[in-house]
Amino acid sequence: MKPANTQSSLSSATGTQRVFSPRWALASLSLSTLLASLGASVVTVGLPTLAHAFEASFQQVQWVVLAYLLAITTLIVSLGKLGDLLGRGRLLLAGIVLFTIASALCGMAPSLWLLVAGRALQGLGAAIMMTLTLALVGETVSKEKTGSAMGLLGTLSAVGTALGPSLGGALISGFGWQALFLINVPLGLLAFGLAWRSLPARQPEGSVARPRFDTLGTLLLAATLAAYALATTLGRGDFGWPNIALLLMAILGGGLFVMAQRWVASPLIPLGVFGDRSLVAGLVTSALVATVMMATLLVGPFYLSVALGLPAARVGLVLAAGPSVAALTGVPAGRLVDRFGVRPVRLVGLLIMILGCLMLSLMSPTLGVGGYVAAIAVTTLGYALFQTANNTTVMADVPAGKRGVISGLLNLSRNLGFFTGASALGAVFALSVPTNGIAQAAPEAVVNGLHLTFIVATSLMLLAWVVVLKCREPEPLDGRDDIFAQRK
């Protein structure tokens, strides 16, 4: 199925006329991506205010962030599959509506736990938007411009991450914590209006006998991912018996999920897709890169505040450097992909990330803020190049009826990388920190922790580079159709 390159009128299921414009359709997808990213980042700066407003502990208030991330991680693949069955444009509209309503409920929440429930609903809407924006690229732009479109979505995601802390601080100062959530209401209405008017109104392709939704597989996968996410986030760095029990539950749930996928007639994830080496390499490298990027977010604040002695306000400004570089690089990275192909850009991106990780592993406080920003800028530049090329690779020539579930897998690999980075590389960093806590750590200990963490990160990036180097180019459309057809 080829996307339309000129404006045309299409009828929706209700008979309402919509005008399909690739440019405005891409704008609606970009705004949806921005909203999902902003929803995650804008709240972090408000956690102290929320703790004070609800008289809650840090462990309690952190669920405002955790509920959002858990909803995304546990349901993102299932929602991609649901989009394939019901229609991606239709489900995206529903996701935007849910995100907008949930944002309003969060802004009016009278208690912390109602706020957490609202954040879970908001995360559900964000999961729909994150998954289906990638899946809909193939229906809104021509194949020759896919890299540029992926770069634009990556730019808007980075803009949301970079804008969140500063925008959140301004909103809290001017209007109170409720504004952190209510700001999404007008933006959500705008995104819905753009999507309703501009996205192609297509029904899901396939026979009249539509495949049934895999409810058992959805429940097993959600439970497995929730157990893994909680195992890697609970305990604030202490991996105790509760974490081990949750990890064992995740392993058991994963085994049951694989067994269930072999039994059901219409599996949530046809296991045959993992016969596509290009897809597997894209998912594995996406997870490895996300693991390393989480390390920069996790270790950076401690290095800046303890080793360099920066106040909190300056730490926030320095941390915005990485997302800012990603925002500026996304669109040019997409054009490079369109011109030179995905494989060269992926390899170059990973090489640049290796260089950045090496710079961080050798970082000296004598280089000051400038040295740290330079290393982060190099690392993030490589990340932007890699992510744009990798997203294009994974989504290239995916059969139309599978775009949602493959987009869900791609987003899931990144989220699992973030959780793994927070746990595994966080534990590596903690090896150099005294047992009585980071607050008592000497600057030398934090510097050693930074070095050790990014020595490990460098090895992970070398592994990702080898995986891409060994992987052949994506299968042509017919070949990938054969692979996706297996084990249905």
- pTM assigned to the model: 0.74
- Any domain includes 461: yes
Both tokens of 127, joined, read 């999961």
Last residue of a domain, one of 196, 211, 233: 196
How many Å from the N-terminal Cα to the C-terminal Cα in the chain?
Answer: 21
Place 220 in a pLDDT band, splitting at 50, 70 and 90: confident
- DSSP for 260-284 reads HHHHSSS-SS-GGGGG-HHHHHHHH
Whether 19 has a pLDDT exceeding 50, the answer reads: yes
Q: What pLDDT is attached to residue 117?
A: 93
Q: Which pLDDT does position 235 carry in this prediction? A: 62
Residues 403 and 318 in one domain: yes
Regarding whether 280 and 179 lie in a shared domain, the answer is no
pLDDT tens by residue, 267-317: 777 777 777 788 888 899 999 998 998 888 778 877 888 888 888 667 777
> What CATH number is given to the structural domain containing 292?
1.20.1250.20
Q: Is the pLDDT of residue 474 over 80?
A: no
Same domain membership, residue 467 and residue 324: yes
Domain finish residue from 149, 173, 196: 196
How many domains does one find in the chain?
A: 2
Q: What is the pLDDT of residues 318-345, one digit of tens each?
A: 877 887 888 788 788 888 888 888 889 9
Separation between Cα atoms, residue 37 and residue 161, nearest integer Å? 6
User: Are residue 378 and residue 273 in the same domain, yes or no?
Assistant: yes
Task: Tell me which residue range forms the domain holding 328.
Answer: 269-476
| Domain end among 196, 212, 233 | 196
- Is residue 178 in a domain? yes
The predicted-structure confidence for 415-470, as pLDDT tens digits, reads as follows 888 878 877 887 788 777 665 455 567 888 889 989 999 999 999 999 999 999 88
Q: pLDDT tens, 227-263?
A: 887 787 666 556 678 888 888 998 998 899 888 888 8
Tell me, yes or no, whether 327 and 437 share the same domain. Answer: yes
How many Cα atoms within 13 Å fall on the side-chain side of residue 1? Answer: 18
pLDDT attached to residue 12: 41
Say yes or no: 178 and 273 in one domain.
no
Q: Is there a single domain that holds both residue 192 and residue 274?
A: no
Four-point Cα dihedral 108, 110, 111, 114, nearest 10: -50
Return the pLDDT at 21.
Answer: 66
